[in-house]
Amino acid sequence: MHFPSNHSDLHSIPVQFVKGIGPKKSALLEKAGIRTVEDLLLHIPRRYIDRTTVLSIARLREETLASAQGPGPGGGDTGGTEPRREFTVIGEVRSFRVLGFGAKSRFLLVLADRTGTLQCVWFGGVQYWKKMFRIGETLAVSGEPAMYGAMLQFVHPDIDRIAVPEEGENGAAPTQWVDALNTGGLVPMYPSGEELARAGLDSGGFRRVIAGAWKTYGGLFPEILPRTITDARGLVSAHAALESVHRPASTTELREGLRRLKYEELFRFQIKLAMKRRGLREKPGGIAFTVKSPLARALVDSLPFTLTRAQVKVIQEITADMASPNAMNRLLQGDVGSGKTVVALIAMLIAADNGYQSVFMAPTELLAEQHFKTLRRLLGDSPVNIRLLVGAQKSALRRDLLDDIRGGTARIIVGTHALFEKEVAFARLGFVVIDEQHRFGVMQRATLRSKGANPDVLVMTATPIPRTLSLTLYGDLDVSVIDELPRDRKPVTTVLKSDEEMASVASFVREQVRAGRQAYYVYPLIEESEKLDLKAATVHFARLQQEVFPDLRLGLIHGRLTGEERDAVMELFTRGEIDILVATTVIEVGIDVSNATVMVIENAERFGLSQLHQLRGRVGRGSDRSFCILVAKRWIAGRVARAASRGTALAAGEQLLAERRLAAMVATTDGFRIAETDLQLRGPGDFFGTRQSGIPEFKIADILADAVLLDEARADALAIVGSDPHLGRTEHRPLLSYLRSRYHDEMKLIDVG
Ligand code: ADP
Ligand code: MG
């Protein structure tokens, strides 16, 4: 074995150098993101099997019978808040089979140990489970047991395949291997995958190679945290932390080890953000605007409403940034309907009064058009030249537009990605508004920035971002929050109906229309294909118009209409000449018709939570009482209603996510609570749907559960960069060399000293 001489950096030693890892395994590991020895040592167990909680089947049966007679779970009113009682049983697979057909089918597995047998049941996914098991293999099954008649049963338990012995150990029976668990109190269970497991790297395989790697290389694991931090935060050393995570001697030690590793992971991320933030700050040549602005004053005086206290507060925060010579990087958060657009417009008018151009960037053309109209309406007869730049414009118009942008006569330019194109050159770009930031990549932000002389940037998001997440995502931005809705808003009454109650929903809608109001009927994108989706929308529309509301005026809007067709329909709806607008999700954001008071969402179980919240935000925009009617399959609606009446939380599980989304919608109209729930249900990686959201994937830490650590890591990172901006001090050397070796390119961008 050889590795580059003088090299003690685990980050540059390929994982193949570890004993027991050949080319085949290392290729598979690489696919799983484990390339170096450091990666391998940071492959942290998913959980541990605690021998003390492993019961024999007979004992577990006794426990379960006893707790069924006692007050038991659900007996008090603490439903959902108490930690779940989990038990583990280790046994051999005796048999398995599929029962029932189609949607009703379930998978049944019988597990046995020396003391008895029990059943594991999975509803749905039978094709998957059928391939998962082999007769005679040994499993550790964990969960909450229950009695099903006389049978002890786990419903959807967690399964760990206990590794079979290495070949050549003269066919030792799995039970013997299991006995080996007795030697350690806590046995690490490593995450693996089908391919990895087949190549010998199941949980047990990982246990072996990591133990080997630790023996050879453990002593070289770097300590990047300065003593000041480990002392102040009471953190164990990196070396001790890894030792106790891979081979915990006690739960206390394990907890401390994990805490340290989580902290370090969060700190590594936060220190990068802090360096970046410093880089942005130090960059000279931002614009110092004069914030006294006749145009903005005239706008505020012309508004048909007075600004809310929250709007005034964020305007002050923004104008303070604008007045400073440093470039602004600010995130403006506010729930749907909180009035972010006016705030952005005021800032853009200040820029205009200073002789600068502004850009207002939306994620889609529809939204760009919508914003353009809204802004123009708000501007009234103000002399400011506002223009719309989208991809689909005719070339003559476009040339004219580009001239005006280059010449500087266009003062506010609303657009989409088209604004990034090379041919778009600005005379004097000074202010950038980005709506719905999470749909833009970080790169795009940088491109746009490069088109101006370091313009001020205001990022707006209609999706309220939980604080923990915004600190992580936007650690390089300052944050302003509009935490108040205009006074005349009444919360939207939200109800859940089953699809069998459509007739009563329809008569409610009819009543509202009779009273002079308007309504939306929204259908989900049922198929990936736009064609089929169009068909679905058309069919629904025809049915509603002919069978349900023959006497009312219905309009249809969907993703395949041209801009003009869409405008024509929207125009009619805005003028009140359409009573009911039937739509696919294209109306999700940006539509603003305050006379519309009913939002009916069909197949609501198919929508994401923040999507539902955005849709609900289309009503309740005026002073009339508004309603959001979620229509779901009967069984889903029924279960949510029963859970609500019992005051208990719904059970966890993939198939129940839809119910939890709907329950959250009925329970609250608070966008921040919705967002928190959404984040919990979906997990941070998926929260914004796309990769380009830039959300880092933490392997060890959980930004929800470890919010306190995240705050600490952020504060520490900011303090270090504040007092030693170029990490020149001796105690920061290990950190600096760590950053240099890992983030060479990024570090160049933010010029580490
Ligand atoms: P957001 O973009 O935050 O969802 P908008 O800026 O679209 O919200 O505002 C929603 C509606 O409320 C618009 O019709 C807007 O003109 C109106 N509005 C904004 N601020 C106020 C206010 N202070 N009082 C009453 N209505 C307001
Ligand atoms: Mg808006």
Q: Tens digit of pLDDT for each residue in 173-182? A: 333 333 333 3
Q: Does any ligand 1 atom lie closer than 6 A to the CB of residue 341?
A: yes
Residue 88, classed as helix, strand or coil, is strand
Pick the residue whose CA is nearest to atom 16 on ligand 1.
339
Average pLDDT of the residues in 17-25: 90
pLDDT of residue 194: 83
Tell whether the model's pLDDT for residue 85 goes beyond 70: no
Pick the residue whose CA is nearest to atom 14 on ligand 1.
592
d(Cα 504, Cα 228) in Å, to the nearest integer? 66
Q: Does any ligand 1 atom lie closer than 6 A to the CB of residue 340?
A: yes
Q: Does any ligand 1 atom lie closer than 6 A to the CB of residue 486?
A: yes
Q: In this predicted structure, which of 136-140, 300-304, 532-536, 556-560 has the lowest mean pLDDT?
A: 532-536
* Residue 431 token pair: 């202010």
Ligand 2: centre distance to CA 336 (Å):
7
pLDDT of residue 526: 57
Residue among 340, 328, 400, 631 at smallest CA distance from 494: 631
Q: Does any ligand 1 atom lie closer than 6 A to the CB of residue 468?
A: no
Average pLDDT of the residues in 352-363: 93
Pick the residue whose CA is nearest to atom 17 on ligand 1.
339
Tell whether the model's pLDDT for residue 3 goes beyond 60: no
List the strands of the sheet with 518-522, edge to edge.
493-498, 627-632, 596-601, 518-522, 580-583, 554-557
Q: In this predicted structure, which of 266-275, 425-434, 702-711 has the lowest mean pLDDT?
A: 702-711
d(Cα 363, Cα 665) in Å, to the nearest integer? 25
Average pLDDT of the residues in 335-349: 92
Q: In this predicted structure, which of 209-223, 303-317, 361-375 has the lowest mean pLDDT?
A: 361-375
Instruction: State which H helix or E strand residue 158 sits in.
Output: strand 158-161
pLDDT of residue 84: 41
Q: Does any ligand 1 atom lie closer than 6 A to the CB of residue 332?
A: no
Ligand 1 closest atom vs CA 306: 23
Pick the residue whose CA is nearest to atom 18 on ligand 1.
339
Residue among 75, 537, 488 at smallest CA distance from 305: 488
Per DSSP, what are the bridge partners of residue 143?
87
pLDDT of residue 598: 97
Ligand 1: centre distance to CA 58 (Å):
64
User: Which residue has better confidence, 9 or 172?
Assistant: 9
pLDDT-derived band at 688, boundaries 50, 70, 90: very low
Residue among 444, 449, 438, 443 at smallest CA distance from 283: 449
Tell whether the model's pLDDT for residue 405 goes beyond 90: yes
Per DSSP, what are the bridge partners of residue 111?
93, 118
Tell whether the model's pLDDT for residue 596 goes beyond 90: yes
Q: Does any ligand 1 atom lie closer than 6 A to the CB of residue 618?
A: no
Q: Name the residue of 335, 437, 587, 592 whose CB sits within 8 Å of the most ligand 1 atoms, as the mutation to test its pocket.
A: 592
Ligand 2: centre distance to CA 590 (Å):
5
d(Cα 478, Cα 463) in Å, to the nearest integer? 17
Ligand 1 closest atom vs CA 592: 14
Q: What percent of the chain has pLDDT over 70?
A: 81
User: Which residue has better confidence, 172 or 561?
Assistant: 561
d(Cα 578, Cα 556) in Å, to the nearest integer? 10
Tell whether the model's pLDDT for residue 518 goes beyond 90: yes
Q: Does any ligand 1 atom lie closer than 6 A to the CB of residue 338?
A: yes
List the strands of the sheet with 151-155, edge to edge.
145-148, 151-155, 116-123, 106-113, 87-99, 138-143, 158-161
pLDDT of residue 141: 86
pLDDT-derived band at 648, boundaries 50, 70, 90: low
Q: Does any ligand 1 atom lie closer than 6 A to the CB of residue 371?
A: no
Identify the DSSP state of 327. Answer: P
Q: Does any ligand 1 atom lie closer than 6 A to the CB of residue 307?
A: yes
pLDDT of residue 723: 93
Average pLDDT of the residues in 494-516: 94
Lookup result for tokens 């194109």: 421
Tell whether the model's pLDDT for residue 75 goes beyond 80: no
Question: For every residue of 161-181, which 3-state class applies, written as one string?
Answer: ECCCCCCCCCCCCHHHHHHHH
Residue 455, classed as helix, strand or coil, is coil
Q: Hey, which bits of 586-646 come out as E strands?
A: 596-601, 627-632
**Residues near 724 by Cβ (< 8 Å), separated by ≥ 6?**
732
Ligand 1 closest atom vs CA 311: 23
d(Cα 336, Cα 461) in Å, to the nearest integer? 9
Ligand 1 closest atom vs CA 308: 23
Ligand 1 closest atom vs CA 342: 6
CA 543 to chain centre: 37
pLDDT-derived band at 682, boundaries 50, 70, 90: confident
Tell whether the model's pLDDT for residue 2 goes beyond 50: no
According to DSSP, the β-strands at 87-99 and 138-143 are antiparallel
pLDDT of residue 530: 62
Per DSSP, what are the bridge partners of residue 628?
494, 599
Q: Name the residue of 305, 372, 614 whose CB sits within 8 Å of the most ligand 1 atoms, as the mutation to test its pocket.
A: 305
Residue among 22, 219, 233, 221 at smallest CA distance from 708: 233
pLDDT of residue 449: 66
Pick the residue whose CA is nearest to atom 19 on ligand 1.
339
Tell whether the model's pLDDT for residue 550 goes beyond 90: yes
pLDDT of residue 469: 67
Ligand 1: centre distance to CA 305 (Å):
9
**Residues near 249 by Cβ (< 8 Å), separated by ≥ 6?**
185
CB atoms within 10 A of CB 673: 15
Ligand 1: centre distance to CA 462 (Å):
12
Residue 458, classed as helix, strand or coil, is strand
Tell whether the model's pLDDT for residue 26 goes beyond 90: yes
Pick the residue whose CA is nearest to atom 10 on ligand 1.
337
Ligand 2: centre distance to CA 658 (Å):
27
Q: Does any ligand 1 atom lie closer than 6 A to the CB of residue 592?
A: yes
Residue 32, classed as helix, strand or coil, is coil
Average pLDDT of the residues in 260-266: 95
Residue 738, classed as helix, strand or coil, is helix
pLDDT-derived band at 232, boundaries 50, 70, 90: very high
User: Which residue has better confidence, 614 or 408?
Assistant: 408
CA dihedral 141, 143, 147, 149 (to 10 degrees): -60
Tell whether the model's pLDDT for residue 334 goes beyond 80: yes
Domains, the chain, with CATH or none = 48-75+83-189 (2.40.50.140), 294-324+338-461 (3.40.50.300), 493-668 (3.40.50.300)
* Cα–Cα distance list, 589 to 494, 525, 592, 608 (Å): 18, 16, 9, 14
CB-based contact 674:610 (threshold 8 Å): yes
CB-based contact 323:284 (threshold 8 Å): no
pLDDT-derived band at 540, boundaries 50, 70, 90: confident
pLDDT-derived band at 638, boundaries 50, 70, 90: confident
pLDDT of residue 177: 35
CB-based contact 198:31 (threshold 8 Å): no
Ligand 1 closest atom vs CA 488: 25
d(Cα 567, Cα 561) in Å, to the nearest integer? 9
Pick the residue whose CA is nearest to atom 6 on ligand 1.
339
Q: Does any ligand 1 atom lie closer than 6 A to the CB of residue 660?
A: no
pLDDT of residue 605: 86
Cβ-count burial of 505 within 10 angstroms (0-12 exposed, 13-18 middle, 19+ buried)?
buried
The angle subtended at Cα 615 by Cα 611 and Cα 621, nearest 5°, is 140
Backbone angles phi, psi at 739, to 5 degrees: -60, -40
* Residue 171 token pair: 């066919």
Q: Return the ligand number nearest the Cα of 310.
A: 1
Tell whether the model's pLDDT for residue 700 goes beyond 70: yes
Average pLDDT of the residues in 233-240: 96
pLDDT of residue 89: 87
Average pLDDT of the residues in 595-622: 88
pLDDT of residue 444: 60
Average pLDDT of the residues in 563-580: 87
pLDDT of residue 48: 81
